[in-house]
Amino acid sequence: MLLGSTAVLYLWGLGESGWANSFYAAAVQAGSESWKAFFFGASDAAGSITVDKPPLSLWPMALSVRVFGLSSWALLVPQALMGVASVAVLVALVRRATGNPWAGLLAGLTLAVTPVAALMFRFNNPDALLTLLMLCAAYATFRAVGSPRALRWLVLAGGLLGLAFLTKTLQAFLVLPGFAVTYAVFAALPWRTRVGHLLAAFGAMVAGAGWWVAIVELWPTGWWGSRPYIGGSQTNDFLELTFGYNGFGRLTGDETGSVGGGGRGWGSTGLLRLLGTDNGGQIAWLLPAALVLGVAAIRAGRRPVRVAASLMLGWLVVTAATFSFMAGIFHTYYNVALAPAIAACVALGSWALWQRRESLAASGVLGFTVALTSAWSFVLLSRTSDYHPWLRWTAVVLGFAAALMVVGGRHLPRRVAGAVSLVALVAALAGPTAYSLTTAATPHTGSIPTAGPSSTGGFGPGGGAGGLLNGSTSTATLTSMLLQDADSYDWVAATVGANSAAGYQLATEQSVMPIGGFNGSDPSPTLAQFQAYVADGRIHYFIAGGGGPGGPGGPGAAGGAGGSSEIEAWVAATYTAQTVDGVTVYDLTAPA
Q: Is residue 497 located within the same domain as residue 388?
A: no
Q: Is residue 394 located within the same domain as residue 508?
A: no
End-to-end CA distance of the chain: 66
pTM assigned to the model: 0.93
Which of 379, 412, 440 is where one domain is finished? 440
Instruction: Indicate the burial class of 579 (C-beta count within 10 angstroms; 0-12, 13-18, 19 or more).
Output: exposed
The pLDDT of residue 546 is 72
Which of 392, 419, 440 is where one domain is finished? 440
Which of 396, 413, 440 is where one domain is finished? 440
Q: Is residue 432 located within the same domain as residue 512?
A: no
Average pLDDT over residues 566-583: 94
pLDDT more than 70, % of the chain: 91
Q: Is residue 103 located within the same domain as residue 176?
A: yes
Q: Is residue 332 located within the same domain as residue 424?
A: yes
Q: Is residue 395 located within the same domain as residue 502?
A: no
Query: Does the residue 466 lie in any domain?
Result: no
Q: Is residue 436 located within the same domain as residue 490?
A: no
Query: Does the residue 300 lie in any domain?
Result: yes
Q: Is residue 329 located within the same domain as residue 285?
A: yes
Taking the CB of residue 397, how many other CB atoms lie within 10 A of it?
A: 13
Query: Does the residue 528 lie in any domain?
Result: yes
For CA atoms 279, 428, 433, 112, give the dihedral sign.
positive
Q: What is the amino acid identity at position 50?
A: T
Count of structural domains within the chain: 2
Q: Give which of 286, 320, 314, 349 is closest to 141, Cα–Cα.
A: 314
Cis peptide bond upstream of 525, omega within 30? yes
* Residue numbers of the domain that contains 141: 2-257+271-440
Whether the predicted pLDDT of 415 surpasses 90: no
Query: Does the residue 263 lie in any domain?
Result: no
Q: Which of 228-232, 490-494, 561-565, 579-583 has the lowest mean pLDDT?
A: 561-565
pLDDT in tens, 535-544: 999 999 999 9
Q: Is residue 404 located within the same domain as residue 533?
A: no
The pLDDT of residue 222 is 64
Query: Does the residue 550 lie in any domain?
Result: yes
Query: Does the residue 471 lie in any domain?
Result: no
Q: Is residue 434 located within the same domain as residue 519?
A: no
pLDDT in tens, 134-145: 999 999 999 999
Q: Is residue 484 located within the same domain as residue 421?
A: no
Give the residue, 110 or 469, on which the prediction is more confident: 110
* Rounded distance between C-alpha atoms, residue 375 and residue 365, angstroms: 15
Query: Does the residue 264 lie in any domain?
Result: no
Q: Is residue 436 located within the same domain as residue 482?
A: no
Query: Does the residue 28 lie in any domain?
Result: yes
- The H or E element spanning position 6 is helix 2-11
